[in-house]
């Protein structure tokens, strides 16, 4: 991490733990762009978009286990959505080519607001697979599909 910082490609806090015990902790760089405040472990960072990869990995594991196909329409898992959901496939969600537009973000955007926006969506911005829009609505739907697939799997094995 020190080398990455020296090369100018990392600025942040690093913490490594093993079995609940901190084995390495270091702050590298500055707390802001002005470089007026040296970074310390007291500064916290938003984890950002690093959790999105877990959705993709979960979807690919479900595919590998035969629980879904990347070519399944999302309506298979979320039949409550409007007709456009039958044209959007799982693969479109993980490649951000679903055609689902970005909605006006709000600071109070909750899962229920995201769901309401999707249920109220009349048309897609473009035909799925023909263009790219990065937005968290794709991620939200990925999570719902993983949940539905997991629940369906569990129901089959519980009597």
Same domain, 130 and 109: yes
Average pLDDT, the chain: 89
Same domain, 132 and 115: yes
Same domain, 4 and 81: no
Local structure of 112: helix, strand or coil: helix
Nearest to residue 140, comparing CAs of 117, 123, 107, 106? 117
∠ CA 20-26-28 to the nearest 5 degrees? 145
Same domain, 27 and 92: no
Same domain, 35 and 58: no
Q: Which domain, by its residues, includes 7?
A: 1-45
Same domain, 112 and 139: yes
Same domain, 107 and 39: no
- Residue with the larger pLDDT of the pair 109 and 133: 133
Our count of domains for the chain comes to: 2
> With contact defined as beta carbons under 8 Å apart, do 140 and 114 qualify?
yes
pLDDT in tens, 112-152: 999 999 999 999 999 999 999 988 899 999 999 999 987 76
Alpha-carbon separation of residue 7 from 11, 28, 29 (angstroms): 10, 12, 12
Same domain, 34 and 90: no
pLDDT of 159 over the 50 cut: no
Q: What is the pTM of this model?
A: 0.70
pLDDT in tens, 56-108: 999 999 999 999 999 999 999 999 999 999 999 999 999 999 999 988 766 56
């Amino acid at each position: 991490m020190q080398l990455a910082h020296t090369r100018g490609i990392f600025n942040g806090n690093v913490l490594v733990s093993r079995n609940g015990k901190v084995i390495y902790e270091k702050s590298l760089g500055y707390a802001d762009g002005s470089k007026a405040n040296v970074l310390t472990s007291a500064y916290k960072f938003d984890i950002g978009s690093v959790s999105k990869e877990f959705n993709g990995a979960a979807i690919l594991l479900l595919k590998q286990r035969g629980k879904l196909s990347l070519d399944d329409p999302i309506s298979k898992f979320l039949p409550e959505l409007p007709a456009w959901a039958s044209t959007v496939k799982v693969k479109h969600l993980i490649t951000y080519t679903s055609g689902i537009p970005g909605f006006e973000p709000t600071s109070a955007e909750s899962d229920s607001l995201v769901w309401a926006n999707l249920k109220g969506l009349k048309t897609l911005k473009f035909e799925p697979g023909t263009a790219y829009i990065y937005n968290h609505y794709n991620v939200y739907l990925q999570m719902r599909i993983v949940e539905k697939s997991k629940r369906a799997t569990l129901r089959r094995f519980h009597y």
